[in-house]
Structure formats: structure tokens, C-alpha cells
Structure 1
Amino acid sequence: MKYVPDATGDRHFAEDHTTDRDAVDGLLSELDEYAVEQALQIKEANDDVEITVLTMGGDDAKDALRKALSMGADKAAHVNDEALHGTDVMGTSLVLAKAVEQIGYDLVLCGMSSTDGVMGVLPALLAERLGVPQVTLLSEVSVADGTVNGRRDGDTASQRLSAALPAVASVTDQSGEARYPSFKGIMAAKKKPVLALDLSDLGIDPADVGLAGAWSAVDEVAERPARTAGTVVKDEGEGGRQLAAFLAERRFV
């Protein structure tokens, strides 16, 4: 799960062309809330299930962990290291894979994408690094008899998928609304353990992550152009023709 800048805030880039995360409030990525919800539903349907929520980020990322713990997760792990600044999705998948291996797992559940980077490939990269099968973009997910099962909805058809555990799965925003933390859950979250990890704990060379280890780089950024006034068409009998001409001029029709 990821702590991301609030999409409704005024977001900017820092001088090194990374997202300026200090200039805007952050929160648990909405798309990751669906993964937390599905993990909780799996726990309710199965005995002996323990949910650990994992994030990589700065000190403020603990707020995202606490949100998931207050929803009902059992414990959390937080990878926090200054050398992680500017890490791209390749480095992120490496860090998370090492952390997952250290924590231990049967099923890794992810959101379909992050709401800041919007890459959408992290679950697949994570499965590849762990050497386990992946069942991604599920709108329905369940676990039974050592197998994760799910439904992936496409534009023209739906697929039924399954994979033997251990595995990685991701869920979409169609999998079911995430529950709100109760007051009891919020109070209980304060006592739940949060494991602190850094790169040395995971045996990762700092040169493999951060801006220096990124596989991609942002060379230039520019402010979004200010919104200009639209064209007003007064319909005095020729409104339809004017609209058609406007669309044709811009090759929309």
C-alpha cells in the first residue's frame, strides 16, 4: 500500500523533478484501500489469517499504515530510508519483494495502481521478483484450499482466474467499497505493532534504488497551461452548424 499526495491538492515537482510530497497533504491511496478491504474479507471467510500491511515511504507514510490498521489489519511494516528518495517502480518492486520475503507471506494483495505514479505494473514486477504466479486486475477475489481465485472483467468478456499460493494478486476499484474505520478500530490501531525496516535490514545496496538507481528519469517538467475561456455559441438558428464546424476544424468529427 502507498502513501500518496492528495489528488485534490495543488501538487508540484521539486527541483530534482520528483514529486514534492512536503507541499501537499498525503493519504492512503484510495486504490489500495480496495486491497485492504479484500484482505479483510478473506480473513473473515477463512480461519488463521493474519494481515500485514506494508508500505515504503517517509515518516508520514505511517499515517497510511495506521489507516489500514484501524480498518482491521493485524500489523504493519514500514520501509523507511533516506536513500529511497526518487526510487522508480523497478526499485520499489525490489524493496517490497525483499520486505515481503522477510515478513513471510501466502498471498500479496495490491491495488490496481497508485494514484500518483499511475504505473499499474508493480504487482506484476513483484510477482516476477518473488518467483510466484500473479492474478491481477480482479474485481472479485477469494481464497480456498491453498488457491486464490478471482474474476477479471474486460470490455467484452470476464475471465475466471486461479493460482496456487503463494501468489500475488491485485484488485480493481470494482471489487467492493472499503469500510470506514470504527472508533474501536482507530483506538486498537494505536497498539498494533509496526515493524521498522531500512535498506540495511533488507540487504539492498543504496546504489540500486533512489534517483541514481532509477531505470527512468524525468528530464524536464512544466506547469500545466492555465485554462482558457471556452467558445460561446449563441444559437440563433445556426447553432448546430457552428458546433459542427468547430468540431470539424479540430478534427473531432
Structure 2
Amino acid sequence: MKVLVPVKRVIDYNVKVRVKADGSGVDLANVKMSMNPFDEIAVEQAIRMKEAGQADEVVAVSIGVKQSQETLRTALAMGADRAILIVATDDVHNDIEPLAVAKLLKAVCDEEQPGVVLCGKQAIDNDMNATGQMLAALTGWAQATFASDIQLDGDSAVVTREVDGGLQTIKVKMPAIISVDLRLNEPRYASLPNIMKAKKKPLDEKTPEEYGVDVSPRLQIVSTGEPDQRKAGVIVGSVDELVAKLKEAGALA
């Protein structure tokens, strides 16, 4: 079985994001970029499947700028077998929208015929949480989102999902799209020897035109701004005053 893992290049989660002075977007100048943390968990799970003899090959795919090569090399250093980079834009500020990404991944799935697609539940830069679901709709495959545990059972996958009420366990027939959550695993660090080996692993470059997909944006960002500063709290002298303040704030009906 082949496992396909989409990965995205995002601002490193340790970096404080700053908005451009003109409000046109986020400042990416001299900012450290890395693999989306949820995608890193997906790569780790795919590698564990291969180590357990449940998968034969792990293929990482990224869609975006040419610099996403670095992200794919990280996946290869972790243990992925090969990578596909679809260069969809030259501008690092141009974020390819989820529908376009899903269409490209659908084309890759048609070409690669994976048994399962493991992806992060969302990207930490735009928090869309849409690509996996859109891909499932386009392929017609089963989907399991927010996975905190994955067990393969023949031609099916038993997935434990994190939901508001607790945990939900479902069984989906493969091929399937599974989006992973934080508690699924702890991603490994790439060792220096594996980082060196990753440089020799195959990385194919493609373009959206080769797949016949239009990646023109459908959405327009009107403005970007910093969140409002948190206001200072107020010390109250009694329970009655506290209740009155809460009513003023609309917290109590």
C-alpha cells in the first residue's frame, strides 16, 4: 500500500507573526519557515505504518513556492521515500487556496493511486481546515477527520476521532482521506545521516498546468490586522458587584 502525505510550508510555530504596516498581509521577510506541525504528525504516522509493514511506500507532496523543496526534504529526512513538488506560484505571499490544492491532490491521487492519504487537520497559517474534506469530496473516498488514533484492519481503517463530546471511533473503507490531530503521535527528529540521505532521494517538480488545474485565487483578502489588545481586568468588592459587572458585559442573561 502507498501512503500519500501532503505537507505545507508555513511560518514556524515558534515565530511571532507580524502584520505588514499597510495591512496587506503578514510580513514574511527574514522569517523562519518550517513544515506545518499537523503535517509533520501525518508524515510520522505514515513512516510508522511503513515500519510496521502496513505500507510499502511513503510519498510526500507539497504545493506552493519552489522553496517548499526544503519542507519536502525534511519529510524525506524523516523517512519518506520520495517527494513531489507542484510549483504553483513564485510569490511567497500567495497562499494557494484549499479548493485548488484539493484539485491538484486529486490529480496526484489519480496518478499515484495511494491506499490512504494522511494530512494535517489544518494549516497553522490560515486555519482553513478544508483541504482534506474537499479532497474526499472530489475523490469520492471515505474520510475520517481529527484522528487521534489510527489502526489498519485489512482494507479498512479504524480511526478514533476527537469530537466536542469526547472520542468517537469509526471504521472507513480504504482508499480513504484521514486528517490527523495533535495527540496522534510525537514526530521524530531527522538525524544528520538521514538529512544527508534525503538529498539523494527523488523529488519531482511539476506545475498545475501539467495537471490541468487552474490555481487562480477565488478569494480576496481585504485587510489583515493585529488582534485587539486585551483590556485590563477590574477588581470587584462583592459577589453582587461581580454579578452586576457580568450582566453589563452580557455574560449573564
TM-score (normalised: structure 1): 0.83
More strand by share: 2
Q: Is the 8 A contact 2:88 2:96 kept in 1?
A: no
Matched, 1:221 2:224: yes
Structure 2 gap ranges (5+): 1-6
Structure 2 residue corresponding to 1:58, chosen from 62, 65, 81: 65
Structure 2 residue corresponding to 1:37, chosen from 37, 44, 57: 44
How many Å separate the matches in 1 of 2:182 and 2:39? 9
- Other-structure match for 1:209: 215
Q: Is the 8 A contact 1:141 1:148 kept in 2?
A: yes
Q: State the superposition RMSD in angstroms.
A: 2.6
How many Å separate the matches in 2 of 1:43 and 1:141? 13
- Other-structure match for 2:175: 166
1:231 positional shift: 4.0
1:189 positional shift: 1.1
User: In structure 2, the residue corresponding to 1:180 is in which secondary structure?
Assistant: coil
Q: Is the 8 A contact 1:42 1:142 kept in 2?
A: no
Q: Is the 8 A contact 2:60 2:80 kept in 1?
A: yes
Farther off after superposition, 95-104 or 132-141: 95-104
User: In structure 2, the residue corresponding to 1:117 is in which secondary structure?
Assistant: coil
Structure 2 residue corresponding to 1:176, chosen from 166, 180, 185: 185
Matched, 1:141 2:140: no
- Taking a change above 3 Å as real, the CA distance of residues 156 and 199 of structure 1, as seen in their structure-2 partners, is closer
1:23 positional shift: 5.4
State the aligned residue count.
Answer: 243
Q: What is the CA deviation profile of residues 84-134 of structure 1, one whole-angstrom value per residue up to 9, with x for unaligned ones? A: 834321112112221232233111101111101111121111111122111
Farther off after superposition, 97-106 or 58-67: 97-106
User: In structure 2, the residue corresponding to 1:162 is in which secondary structure?
Assistant: strand
- Other-structure match for 1:76: 83
Return the letter of the residue paired with 2:86. Answer: V
- Other-structure match for 1:127: 136
Matched, 1:114 2:123: yes
Return the letter of the residue paired with 1:186. Answer: I
- Taking a change above 3 Å as real, the CA distance of residues 12 and 143 of structure 1, as seen in their structure-2 partners, is same
Q: Is the 8 A contact 2:25 2:223 kept in 1?
A: no
Matched, 1:250 2:249: yes
Q: Is the 8 A contact 1:18 1:86 kept in 2?
A: no
How many Å separate the matches in 2 of 1:14 and 1:90? 29
How many Å separate the matches in 1 of 2:97 and 2:23? 14
1:135 positional shift: 1.7
How many Å separate the matches in 1 of 2:198 and 2:75? 9
1:183 positional shift: 2.1
How many Å separate the matches in 1 of 2:57 and 2:143? 20
Matched, 1:192 2:204: no
How many Å separate the matches in 1 of 2:169 and 2:228? 44
Structure 2 residue corresponding to 1:6, chosen from 8, 12, 27: 12
- Other-structure match for 2:165: 156
How many Å separate the matches in 2 of 1:66 and 1:209? 24
Return the letter of the residue paired with 1:203. Answer: G
